[in-house]
Chain A
């Protein structure tokens, strides 16, 4: 799927929220959904298990309307974080224009974050995508928790952000940092409009 189709005047931007289980990917989407004016709301599709974990994926279509003469649509996806949903993750990742990595700031989750990041690299690599090429934003979620439970942003940066992707501290539950992250990734993705790479 191409990012921009000049012939039909459409911009379709697929952004995948990636990260370990329970790091708050779905919470990000819920917050975004809650902020969308009613007349712009699509249907948020959530395929969750009974225990409320994302089983397949969440899908939030955002119709941004006409922008510079383009019908602009964003598709936000989350992947299931649990290790055993590897196949779904790969499927969802296909054709992504940008990835938001939602990291869990809790100190005890550090290992999960690292593994999930490695998993992201591997899955991108399988699709022939260099993780350094695809627009990526990292969100350090749950920064609202007591400081003795979490790692600080610099500590997390050291552990996860090897190539200086834009990073955002967040408290997705209350919405802090959610739109900042979305805006950040959107900017990186939309910059590709002029790189010519998007217009296939």
Chain B
């Protein structure tokens, strides 16, 4: 049902008793769903609730003809609901209402005791408010005085703005009377109107009734005199007047509150509201809003449409850029630049570079530092070589080929080299770190997607390239071919290449000769399983973290035991700590001995020479002899 078109703001007389209500109603009509939602208007009967609610609907539709408004009295609502229930169509009933943009419900005090209706209404409220649709309600009493209504519904009724309409004062009454006379084309003597207006009526209907009587009298017996008014009206029944809110307990506070509300409503600056709404919205969407926040602090109103327009346009641009970058490389889409309208240029730049393959693969992990790498005779050659490479990337040993059994710290060292290079160059050299496994996966993906050129370009853009576990490339022809080209390009440009492998180039079966010779062309250096010095250092480091401190002799005992890798050392410490925990004692040599050598426990770690490699290659010096050319210089240097 549409609101009665006769009820408009233009013919609603505004006085002190209803000023706030009218202001709120207008605000709601102008911006449905955003100003006060729900708007709850209450007053004694006949003071204009229905008029005001209808006026909201009419005015709002005048402003936005597409707006769907629905006016319904609670009684009608209940009736419709019952009808819907009787034909089993409750859902379509709720759906019908939940698509309304503005719902005007009259006389909600009749909710009292109607549980079923309350439940439906609660659902409807959630649906409407959740989608930012406006609800306007009228009642003859405030929400918390409507008896027997679900608490949750009461709190929703009261959740927006509650305004009351008081009985009209003299001026309002006079204005209403004049309006009514105009509407009906009746002329009364000014004094007569005045006399009528002076009579205190508790509501407008009574006033209208009195006017009707006077007009009727006049039509019968000619113009009426002032002194006749009282007689015509008879002794009007002493009109009931609602106690003015100010006299009731807490009423002073409430009237103070409504006063503050109207002052705030008048003074809050619309443009700041709009900006803050935009900020809240876009923050919620995950975009930076610094531009808007700065605008919020301006003294003067900026060109708000222009500002918001530009901002939204920038976000649209970012969104399309983000979609674009995600098709190129999802990892790049994580960049903050795609979330900040002030960095559109940067975002565009990222895309441009991604398209041209200028962005090299990601760098080494910062977790592996050179400082955190323990040095001992078993790995000191590799470390020295690494330091030399870090000091002069691409200059001294290119490539650097580090090999050693699993868990001896090759990955750590390779990352540390990368980090050192990045740091020494102040970030100027973009070091890329990739495991051969990733390299292969990427290559396959690039072949699949037909983006091989871009993939190649990325690797060629690296300032230095570290490839971990290069043994995985063995036997893979296409990978080796690509690796060969990347190697040549980077090497030709004097860029450092670091390779790690679980065995030396010579032992890499399935490695093409052209690659093997290139890998051997720099420096090949091995890392041995931890020697006693390194074991002691590592055990000391890990045991120092154990609480309570272990027995003194434990470090020496453990260090004396062979360990194939750093991982094994960490594993041993963890195992002992767990065993000590179970036994409820501190770590001791006896416990370690029982745990590590005891019957039934895990066998002693495999000795270093368990690997199927000629002992010849385990000797530092001899390994070095394997290297032609450059290696010779290296040995001289280290002696």
Which chain A residues have a beta carbon within 8 Å of chain B's beta carbons? 4, 6-7, 9, 11, 32, 35-37, 40, 64, 67-70, 72, 175, 178-179, 182-183, 186-187, 190-194, 196-197, 199-200
Contacts and interface: CB of A to CB of B under 8 A. Distances in A.
B253 A36 contact: yes
Contact of B261 (A35, A37, A67, A200): A67
Interface string B493-537: 000000000000000000000000000000000000000000000
B250 A35 contact: yes
Contact of B267 (A35, A72, A194): A194
Nearest to B270: A194
A68 B279 contact: no
14 contacts: A7-B296, A36-B250, A67-B261, A69-B273, A70-B268, A179-B255, A186-B260, A186-B263, A190-B264, A191-B263, A192-B267, A196-B298, A199-B272, A200-B297
Contacts of A36: 250, 253
Contact of B264 (A72, A183, A200): A72
B293 interface: yes
Given A35-B253, A187-B259, A193 B296 contact: no
Interface in B243-278: 249-250, 252-257, 259-261, 263-269, 272-273, 275-276
SS of B interface (majority): helix
Nearest to B160: A66
Given A11-B264, A190-B260, 5 more contacts: A35-B253, A40-B253, A190-B263, A196-B298, A196-B300
Ranked 10 nearest A-B pairs via Cβ: A193-B267, A6-B276, A194-B267, A179-B252, A190-B263, A35-B253, A6-B272, A196-B299, A37-B250, A67-B261
A68 B262 CA distance: 9
A6 B276 CA distance: 6
Nearest to A37: B250
Interface of B: 35-36, 249-250, 252-257, 259-261, 263-269, 272-273, 275-276, 279-280, 293, 296-300
Given A37-B250, A68-B261, A190-B267, A182 B273 contact: no
B273 A186 contact: no
A7 B265 contact: no
Nearest to A62: B253
A183 B296 contact: no
Given A7-B279, A7-B293, A199-B296, A193 B269 contact: yes
Contacts of A67: 260-261, 264-265
A183 B262 CA distance: 12
A24 B250 CA distance: 21
A68 B265 contact: yes
A68 B300 contact: no
Contacts of B265: 67-68
A191 B267 CA distance: 6
Contact of A186 (B259, B279, B293): B259
Given A175-B252, A193-B267, A193-B268, A7 B260 contact: no
A68 B253 contact: no
Contacts of B272: 6, 199
B269 A196 contact: yes
Nearest to B298: A196
A74 to B, nearest CB: 8
Contacts of B296: 6-7, 199
Given A6-B276, A190-B267, A64 B260 contact: yes
